[in-house]
C-alpha cells in the first residue's frame, strides 16, 4: 500500500514548506519514504492495523473496486477481533510472550479467531456478539466464489462492517483502553525500527498519525456511520490532494 508522510529533513530545514515523502507500507505498519530531494524518513504508524485496512477498503469502495473493498472490509473486522481478544488477554494479566505464542496457533484459521473473540466479547460485555448471517453469506460468495458485487450490495456490507467496528471500538475505548495502549506499544516495539535506524544513519524517524475514518482514538468519539465515513474521506482527499 502506498504511504505518504512529511519529510522530516525538509521540515527541519524549512518548516514553512510541506514536502511529502512516499514509500510502501509494510505489514508491520511502517514505511521507508523518500522525498524528491532523496531524504529518507522511517514513518511508523501509531494506528491499530484495522484502522488502516478500513481506510484502504473505503478507498477501494470510492473508486468502485467493490470486490477489493469487500475483501478489505472483511480483513479490517477480523483484525479488530484480534485486537479485542489480545486486549482481553492483557486484562487477564497474560504476558505478551504467551499471547503471541497462542495467537500463532490460531492465526491461520479465521473461525478459531472468531471463536476466541466471541468468548472475550461475552466476558467483557456480558452480552453475546451477533453476526448477520446474510452478510456473512454475501462475503463468502464474493471471497470464495468470485461473485461480482454491485454498488448497492457493497454499500450494505460496508454499512454492516462499519456498525460492527463501531461497536468494537466503543467497547475497546470504554473498557480496554489501557490494554489497547499496551498492545500498541508492544506491536510498535516488535517492528524493530531501532535496528533499521541503527543500520541506516541517514534515516530519520517519524511516528505518523493519519486521520482515522473511524475516529478510533478521538476523545469525543460518538457513533460513526458509513455515511459519516464517506463524508470524512472526501474532505481528507481534498485537504491532502489524494495523498491520505
Least gap, CB of 12 to Zn ion (angstroms):
9
- Does the protein bind Zn ion through residue 7 (CB under 5 A)? yes
Return the number of the residue (32 or 155) whose C-beta is nearest Zn ion. 32
Contacts with 237 (C-beta within 8 Å, 6 or more apart), sequence order? 244
Whole-angstrom distance, CA of residue 16 vs CA of residue 13: 9
Least gap, CB of 26 to Zn ion (angstroms):
21
- Does the protein bind Zn ion through residue 204 (CB under 5 A)? no
Return the number of the residue (39 or 48) whose C-beta is nearest Zn ion. 39
Whole-angstrom distance, CA of residue 43 vs CA of residue 41: 6
Interface with Zn ion (CB under 5 A), residue from 13, 14, 26, 37: 37
Least gap, CB of 11 to Zn ion (angstroms):
8
- Does the protein bind Zn ion through residue 10 (CB under 5 A)? yes
List the grid coordinates of 46: 501509531
- Does the protein bind Zn ion through residue 35 (CB under 5 A)? yes
Q: How many residues bind Zn ion (CB under 5 A)?
A: 6
Whole-angstrom distance, CA of residue 40 vs CA of residue 21: 8
Return the number of the residue (15 or 146) whose C-beta is nearest Zn ion. 15
Least gap, CB of 210 to Zn ion (angstroms):
19
Least gap, CB of 38 to Zn ion (angstroms):
7
- Does the protein bind Zn ion through residue 200 (CB under 5 A)? no
User: What is the radius of gyration, based on Cα positions, of the chain?
Assistant: 19
- Does the protein bind Zn ion through residue 9 (CB under 5 A)? yes
Whole-angstrom distance, CA of residue 61 vs CA of residue 20: 25
- Report CA torsion sign: 82, 189, 94, 169: negative
Which DSSP category does 204 fall into? E
Whole-angstrom distance, CA of residue 86 vs CA of residue 121: 11
Interface with Zn ion (CB under 5 A), residue from 3, 39, 59, 86: 39
58 in Cβ contact with 230 (< 8 Å): yes
- Give the residues lining the site for Zn ion (CB under 5 A): 7, 9-10, 35, 37, 39
Amino acid at each position: 500500500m502506498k504511504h505518504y508522510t512529511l519529510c522530516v529533513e525538509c521540515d527541519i530545514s524549512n518548516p514553512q514548506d510541506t514536502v511529502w515523502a512516499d514509500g510502501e507500507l509494510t505489514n508491520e505498519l511502517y514505511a521507508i519514504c523518500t522525498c524528491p530531494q532523496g531524504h529518507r524518513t522511517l514513518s511508523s504508524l501509531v494506528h491499530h492495523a484495522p484502522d488502516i485496512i478500513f481506510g484502504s477498503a473505503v478507498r477501494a469502495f470510492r473508486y468502485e473496486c467493490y470486490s477489493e473493498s469487500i475483501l478489505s472490509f472483511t480483513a479490517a473486522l477480523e483484525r479488530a477481533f484480534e485486537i479485542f481478544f489480545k486486549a482481553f488477554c492483557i486484562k487477564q494479566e497474560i504476558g505478551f510472550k504467551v499471547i503471541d505464542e497462542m495467537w500463532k496457533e490460531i492465526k491461520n484459521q479465521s473461525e478459531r479467531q472468531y471463536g476466541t473473540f466471541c468468548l472475550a466479547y461475552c466476558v467483557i460485555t456480558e452480552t453475546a456478539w451477533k453476526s448477520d448471517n446474510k452478510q456473512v453469506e454475501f462475503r463468502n460468495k464474493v471471497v470464495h466464489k468470485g461473485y461480482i458485487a454491485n454498488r448497492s450490495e457493497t454499500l450494505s456490507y460496508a454499512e454492516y462492517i462499519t456498525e460492527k467496528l463501531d461497536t468494537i471500538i466503543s467497547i475497546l475505548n470504554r473498557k480496554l483502553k489501557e490494554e489497547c495502549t499496551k498492545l500498541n506499544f508492544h506491536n510498535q516495539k516488535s517492528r524493530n525500527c531501532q535496528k533499521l535506524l541503527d543500520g541506516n544513519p541517514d534515516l530519520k524517524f517519524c511516528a505518523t498519525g493519519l486521520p482515522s475514518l473511524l475516529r478510533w482514538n478521538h476523545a469525543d468519539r460518538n457513533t460513526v456511520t458509513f455515511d459519516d465515513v464517506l463524508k470524512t474521506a472526501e474532505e481528507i482527499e481534498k485537504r491532502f490532494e489524494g495523498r491520505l
